Structure formats: structure tokens, C-alpha cells
A = this chain, B = another copy of it.
């Protein structure tokens, strides 16, 4: 095996000292044009590739990163991105990467802004953020832009002028709607009806929910020969309440040929609670996210499919992209859509175990 080319090899071949080669590599200036040209030629000729290991060791500085996401203690979902972040650190900490977590309280915008302020004054090299609150997030990112603080979005996409974010890592909401439609379509007959059900507040302000709806509808529009009726509904507070029961009962009565329901968020387990009491003929269900309540229903064959948004991987790739950018100084892709995994009782264990493998995906 050939010995790897070092700086000193270049220096010798170019007849200069390693200091001069270093100045060329790091564009520190103070090198005469001719010498610079010669060194660059030798570098190309010998195909110099820096030793990242030695470089990281010598650099001997640490990178400060802030991670801004909801508090996992309030909403267990967020434990998953957090665990992905921690896994990525397991490896990147060797390179001096450090993450401070800022967990904002759900539905507490004031607290969100406090976190933002702390980050802005914290001398960070990069921020990884789940920009849940539209207006507040934009404001924060504007301030980041002014400060020159680099930010990486995950989970929720925010349109930014000039694509000033470093990258977005998350799902393609539109396509997840298409996928849900196809799954239900596979399990129903010509002429059946399917329902798209939002169980959230403020649906028509949430772009990602609208995108899911669009995708779902468009699938059936593009498959007109299936002759499927689409029902669009929403219910804001899907607790196990009389009101919710009444609502569902009403829907079932109104649409006797209803064979499938697509719930656009992770709240499908609320629907299962109510449906299983009513004990109607089997209605096929597609929802999102491997949270504990949903997993129970999936294993009991009450939910047919859960579309997985890879939350662990989102956190993991978030940190890894920051690493690639800061440490390895590589170009990274602006938009990184993660696979939409189709999870069923029969393959769910792999997606839960996937975390195990990930620790080594250095």
C-alpha cells in the first residue's frame, strides 16, 4: 500500500518548508505567486488529501453547537431526535464538537424566545433547530443571519430567502400524503370512500398538514379509474370525549362505504380508542410516527400502517451535517428528505432497533 502524502512530502518536492505549504493550504497569504503556483501543482500531482485525524488533533479547538427543540419531557416524540443527536456526538465529540440543548416548553412562545436570546449571545458556531413556531422562528433566524450564525433546520421546513439555512433535514410532507393514499388504495375496492382526518388545531396555518392533504388528494385524482370518494375532516381536541365520539359516529353514519382513514399526525391512537369501542366493520388506518401509544395499536393490529419520519435519524444527520460543514468543510446538500418508511407490525422492530445500529455510523 502506498504511503499517504503529507505536507512535508509536498514541501520537500516543492523545495520549500512545511510552513509555506501550510500557508498555501490555509490561504493565509504571505506566499509569493510563483511559489504558490508550484506548491499547488505539486499538491495536485501527488494528490494530497489532508489527514483529517491529525488535522483535528492539531486544531484542538471545540465547536459550540446549540440544539433548539421542544422539551422531550413534555412530548416524548422529541426524545427521538435528541437521542439521534447524542448518538452523533458519540463520534463527533472526538473532533471537539459540543452540543448545548435548549428545550423550549411546548406552546410557550415566550420561553422559546428566551432560548433564542440565550443562543444568540452564546457565541455558537452553529444552531440545529426544529422551527415549530412560524413567526418566532423566522424572527430568530433573521437575527442569526445578521450575526452570521449558521443554522441547520430539521423536522419542520421553513422557507428562507436566499436559502440562508445551511440545510433542511426532514420529511417531504406532500409525498407522505401520496404514500398514505397509495397504502389505503391498496387495501380498498373500487367505489369505496376514504377519509383524511386532521386532529390538530390551526390546520390551515400548518403548511405541512396542508401539503399532506394535497398529496393525499392528488394521488386519487391521478387514479380516477379507482373511483374513490375522498372525505376531508378535522377535529381539534381528539381526547376520549363524548364530543369526539359523537363526531366519529356521525362520520361513520354519514359515509357507510368508508373503508380507510388517514390521520395526518401522530394522534391516530386517539381515533383508535374511539373506533374500537364502536366495533364497526374493519376500517383501515394509516397514521404517523412510532410513539408509544401508536406502537401499542400497531402491534394489536388496530393500526395498519404508520409512516415513520425517521426522527432519530433527523437528529443524527443534523449533527453530522454540522460536522461535515464545520470540521470537514464539505459542501452539504440544502434539502435532505429522509425516507418515508412504511412501518407495520411485521417490521416495526427493525425501526425501533435501528437506533442500536446507528451508534456506529460514525
Contact = CB atoms under 8 A, between A and B. Distances in A.
Interface of A: 1, 4, 51-54, 56-57, 62, 64, 91-95, 98, 175, 178-179, 182-183, 186-187, 219, 284, 304, 316-317, 320-321, 323-324, 330, 332-333, 336-342, 344-347, 350-351, 353-354, 356-357, 360-362
Contacts of A344: 179, 182-183, 342
A308 B341 CA distance: 11
Contact of A360 (B62, B93, B321, B346): B321
Nearest to A347: B340
Give how many copies assemble into the complex.
2
B320 A362 contact: yes
B362 A94 contact: no
Contacts of A338: 350, 357
A356 to B, nearest CB: 7
A56 B55 CA distance: 12
A360 B317 contact: yes
A362 B53 CA distance: 13
Contact of A347 (B95, B339, B362): B339
Contacts of A339: 341, 347, 350-351, 354
B1 A98 contact: yes
A294 B304 CA distance: 25
A321 to B, nearest CB: 7
Nearest to A215: B346
A353 B361 CA distance: 17
A179 B347 contact: yes
Nearest to A93: B4
Contact of A362 (B219, B350, B361): B361
Nearest to A188: B187
Contacts of A346: 175, 178-179, 182, 219, 340
Contacts of A333: 356
Contacts of A351: 339
12 contacts: A1-B98, A53-B94, A53-B95, A92-B362, A183-B344, A186-B284, A323-B362, A324-B360, A332-B360, A338-B350, A339-B347, A339-B350
